[in-house]
Structure 1
Amino acid sequence: MGQRHQVFLVARVVPSAGGEARYRCVAAYHHQWCYGRLPLVAARRFLTLLKQKDNAKLVSEEVRALQGKYGPGTSKPRLPDVPCPYTTFLMASSWCVDLGKPIYGSGVSFKNSVMEAHMGSTEGDNNDGITVFDITDPANPSYCFVSTFGLEAGDEVEARVPLSAEEYCRAYYPVPTDNELKKEGAKEMEQDVQAKIDALRDERLMTLNVLAEAWPKEYEYSAPTNPAEDTESSNLASNPIPSLVELSLKPAVEQAVQTGETEGLEDLVWHPGKADLIKPILRDQKPFPDSGLPLLTKVIQQQSDKSPLDLSGFSLTDSQLISLFSFPGVEKVEVLDLSHNPNITTDVLRQLLPVTSKLRHLILLNTSITDEKLYELLIQEPKLFLSVEQLTHPAFLSWQDPARYPNGFAYVGFHGGQSACSASLPVFTPATVVQSLTDFLGPIADLDDYESYGFFGTSLVPQAAFASAVRSADQPWSARHVHCFPALTDTPFDGRGWLFAATWASMYEHSASHYGFVSLEPQTVPPKVRKICDLGAFLEEMAAEGRPPAAEAAVKNLEKIFADLGSKKGATLFTEADFPPFMEKFVAYSRRRY
């Protein structure tokens, strides 16, 4: 039963044996009810998220990490079943969740819908076609729809060739005749169909040869009429020709660093544009010499008011980083990128975080800091991260079920008779929590029973809400930065971090709805409640812990949402008597990843 549809992501990947990069599938996902206009809307959501610059950076990191590591097909070394977990989550949440307007929630859990990237494009349980995206260059992707075995309830279209948004959608909604447009609602329907098609009008359509390269047994290669136009076979970036200034600056910087005589260049840093030219030259010094620290210090001091402060690619040691971060104004740094550094340890975080009190986003991609070492630091010294709302590290971008990292803040919800969800964040600030709960709880008060069923039926809705970085007032949900993949935890009651616990009545179970911000005593069996707070008391607790406050307007908006939940849904604050039965019931259901 259903309108079954699969989504695939492909990218050009160099095999482990070397040679040219070739297209292969890097993600596959199943949706049980997606046809007609729905794939178009979902594709638009995904492409918008894919092109968002911070998301694109993480997608590119995942694709880059595959290069030269795996054999073709299923040969060894074998590509993981889910080789790009962050990008797959980005796609899955796009396909199943929209917390903008109108709101949308469908599907089940990530675990029960994700498929192996090794599968063929026609091997899924399918009756409404597939969608394929080329994510090799997230800033310039392509897409297509494909009819694999025909489209249920749709007109016949050619099988196993790329279909545009219009070709796919018109199979379900042919252009109406003048007489048909006279029927009630027909004109409005046609306008909506056209709007969905137009939303993808400017996106690149994938060529058949991409499909043939990714799945050679399922699609036939078609020789291009003009080989020069077959641009998708190559994604080589052109290297700009360096200017005379850059050519002369490089040997001067290298000589100054080698001799330690950098004073003249230190004055040059403050000239417009010169710091940006000197920085990549210093980045190429591997290992980085101590003699270059005075010059690099001037460069980052000149750039410290920029966001982010980018030190990615520098081979700096812990002691060198500590030396760098002694300049006046270091406390104003809000975003710090230390990625692609093979020399740092968690010891540097112990010393840097206390002096960067305004740091909100710390980026640690492809460093020598392992998942286990970062988990250990979060457990032993959680107060180091009180101001950090985004901690970008592979440990929090991978698919974990259940979570292996310690909980900082988790949404723990029991959704009527349908499902239990426990989306966990390793770090958070009050702004994180206020926005995530606003996004998730905002629509609930006005949902009817039917809408609630779809909204509460998937754990991807709270996961998507808590994965969003804090947005500016003019940044819509659709253009959000997805900064992590919030794992579902099976141990939310171990006393680590805070919980927002909620139980919501459903169309099948009209029990009471309760909620509350909950802190539990650590390592108590059975779990013992320390505090149950409403929003105001929770924010007071956060201030007492030393966390930065959320914006007043955002807090007032969430206060109104809680008031609406009370008046429209009868939701009340948990009591200490209510909570133990909730925990017991949650534990019984939590492993059901429907």
Structure 2
Amino acid sequence: MGQRHQAFLIARVRPHGAPAGHPGNRRCIAAIHHQWCYGSLPLNATRRFIDLIRQPLNAAALLSEVRNLDGKYGAFGNREPTIPDIPCPYTTSLFATAWSTNLETGEQGEYYSSGFCYLDAPMGCWDGDNNDGITIIDVTDPYNPKYCFMVADGPVLDAPGYLVQYYEDVLGSTDDIGEEPSSNAHLQYLRNCMRPLRNVPLIPSSRLQEAWPYERFSDPPASRDQGVAGNVPPSESGASDSHTLTARKAVETGCIDDLVQLSRLPDGAQHVKDAIGGFIPYPDNAMDLLEEVLRETHRKHPNFVDLSGIQLSREQILRVLSGWDAEVNWLDVSNNASTVVDDIVTILAAAPRTRVLNLIGCSSVEDAPLLSLVRDYPPELKTLEGILHPALLDDNISEPGMKTRPSALTIVDVGKHKWDSEPSFSSLALFTPAQVVQSLTDLLPMYGLDKKDSYRPNYPIRGITEPAALQGCARGLDDPWGTRTVANVPLSTRWVPATRREDGDGESVPRIADAYQGEAYHLKGFLECMAQEGRPLPTAAAVDRLEGLLDVKDEGGHAMFPFLSDLSLDRLENN
């Protein structure tokens, strides 16, 4: 039962054994299954995902994961070494959230919550149990993604081409809309769903063939409403770009002067930055060049220090931070083999306002020492909303005790639903009070939609909605949820993190009281405690908005979100 749809991400990745200058081939890096996804739903999910990956910090993390795949895995099929089932956990989580959750309203729809499951990235695009087609998005350049839909073994389809499979009149002009208000409203809704994808290029069939060489693909038919044929992107210039070649040659020969000259040409700084990762280790006599390049490439986002792929020592990183003109909120040292766990506290102390630290692809940052550091929670980590590293990004947990991932903050859903009576737990290894206030502000309106009808389609699904709310950073008061910066992959379980007991039959069951004992706080009391710990607090306006949500009452005048004065087992598990 269902209307099953699979969605895939592809990106250009250099296969194992290919030379360093190889441009790479498209391959699948993430895949999910959705049980009920058809009509306008894949369009809305695609739009939500594209909105997310166009945010600079999300794009940087995605690219860190893609770069970390370069040269490591064999091409599609069974060629060793085989790519992992979930090779890009951050990007996969971002993808799954876009397909399963919407915590804001707008022209493309209302609040939305639905289940999903992860699929294996090495699978074929038609290997899933499918009723309603597939979606494919090319994230090689997350600022300029490409997409397509396909149904059965048909050609590449754009948004109107997919929707017309369900609504024959969707391509007509506004003059063709029926007279009934409901008909007008529905067609307008469908056109609102198509509009955000109008200028997103389609993926050429040749790129799909790279990703799945044993399948057959064909380009779209003649132009419809959108000029589909003209929406196919031009071929990529890749390594033939003269600036790229010049920068690479200068790195190979160690000619710093050539790089300095190139960096002063239009767009030259970005080409130099992309190339200087070839220095291993990074030379001290090129630090002035690096600082000049960073100033040029960071004009739009001065609070984001992007050192990704550059093999800097701890001392060199500290030099960059000491000379940075703006407050550092996001620090990206991903794909740097020189960085180790012992560097983290020193680096954060030099940039004490850092909110997110990207360590993806840092091969010398080992899992166990990093988890130990996070568990110890030194003061330098208390400004962080997240550390991006594989040890803290894997939420594919099926049994209690499988992971030693720390849990510093947990949202517990103990609500009783007819189809689901077990509590769920969504936890973060690192957090700030501003982040907690933001997450609850995003989450509570969905819980207050309709308590009388828990079967309402957009009722929050336990274990799906809470992690989606927790994954983002604190935002400005008027910044939408759909363009949030994502700093975490929350751990979602059906048992208390790091706690378990056996019932009479020997079955593992959650035990809330074992883990959550102590004093209960109202919002202001919680924030006072956080201030004493030295954590950055939310703005007064953000607190006021959350307090307004907490004070909402139902039709009978009862509090929708009553305060629990104690955390007893009876109160939480048997209420």
Q: Same fold (TM over 0.5)?
A: yes
Shift of 1:550: 0.6
AA in 2 matched with 1:575 = S
| Correspondence for 1:535 among 513, 523, 540 | 523
Match of 1:446 in 2: 449
State the distance in 1 between where 2:428 and 2:463 align: 14
Q: Number of matched residues?
A: 528
Shift of 1:384: 2.5
Aligned CA RMSD, in angstroms, stands at: 4.3
Is 1:384 aligned with 2:380?
Answer: yes
What does residue range 385-424 of structure 1 map to in structure 2 within 5 Å? 385-401=381-397, 404-417=404-417, 418=420, 420-424=423-427
User: Deviation string for 1:522-563 (max 9, x for gaps)?
Assistant: xxx944612211111100110111111111000000001110
Shift of 1:195: 2.1
Match of 1:173 in 2: 167
AA in 2 matched with 1:315 = Q
Shift of 1:292: 6.9
Q: Contact 2:101–2:113 at 8 Å: present in 1 too?
A: yes
Q: Contact 1:253–1:281 at 8 Å: present in 2 too?
A: no
Match of 1:161 in 2: 155
Q: Contact 2:243–2:271 at 8 Å: present in 1 too?
A: no
AA in 1 matched with 2:161 = E
Shift of 1:65: 2.2
Match of 1:106 in 2: 113
What does residue range 242-253 of structure 1 map to in structure 2 within 5 Å? none
User: Deviation string for 1:278-314 (max 9, x for gaps)?
Assistant: 9899876543456777997899899999312344444
AA in 1 matched with 2:345 = R
User: Deviation string for 1:68-127 (max 9, x for gaps)?
Assistant: 22243133211211222222221211111111115433322x5xx111223332232222
Match of 1:516 in 2: none
State the distance in 1 between where 2:270 and 2:2 align: 55
User: 1:24 and 1:582, CA in 2 relative to 1: closer, same or farther beyond 3 A?
Assistant: farther
Shift of 1:377: 0.7
State the TM-score, normalizing by the size of structure 1.
Answer: 0.76
Match of 2:226 in 1: none
State the distance in 2 between where 1:379 and 1:294 align: 37
Match of 1:546 in 2: 534
What does residue range 127-276 of structure 1 map to in structure 2 within 5 Å? 127-148=131-152, 159-175=153-169, 181-220=178-217, 234=236, 236=238, 239=241, 241=243
Percent identity over the alignment?
A: 33
State the distance in 2 between where 1:122 and 1:296 align: 46
Q: Contact 1:7–1:131 at 8 Å: present in 2 too?
A: yes
Q: Structure 1: give runs of 5+ residues left out of the alignment.
A: 149-158, 256-264, 266-272, 496-519, 587-594
Match of 1:591 in 2: none
Shift of 1:146: 1.3
AA in 1 matched with 2:114 = G
State the distance in 1 between where 2:31 and 2:270 align: 40
User: Deviation string for 1:164-206 (max 9, x for gaps)?
Assistant: 2112112211218989713451122222222222232211122
Partner-residue secondary structure (3-state), 1:369: coil
Shift of 1:383: 2.6
Between Structure 1 and Structure 2, whose CA radius of gyration is higher?
A: 1
Q: Contact 1:455–1:461 at 8 Å: present in 2 too?
A: no
Q: Structure 2: give runs of 5+ residues left out of the alignment.
A: 223-229, 261-266, 500-511
State the distance in 1 between where 2:277 and 2:520 align: 50
Q: Contact 2:395–2:492 at 8 Å: present in 1 too?
A: no
Q: Contact 2:76–2:211 at 8 Å: present in 1 too?
A: no
Is 1:340 aligned with 2:335?
Answer: yes
| Correspondence for 2:358 among 360, 363, 368 | 363
User: Deviation string for 1:476-520 (max 9, x for gaps)?
Assistant: 11111222211225664659xxxxxxxxxxxxxxxxxxxxxxxx9
Match of 1:574 in 2: 564
Q: Contact 1:212–1:221 at 8 Å: present in 2 too?
A: no
Q: Contact 2:332–2:357 at 8 Å: present in 1 too?
A: yes
State the distance in 1 between where 2:177 and 2:295 align: 67
Match of 2:48 in 1: 45
AA in 2 matched with 1:163 = L
Partner-residue secondary structure (3-state), 2:238: coil
User: 1:48 and 1:222, CA in 2 relative to 1: closer, same or farther beyond 3 A?
Assistant: closer
Which range moves more in the overlay, 426-435 or 357-366?
Answer: 357-366
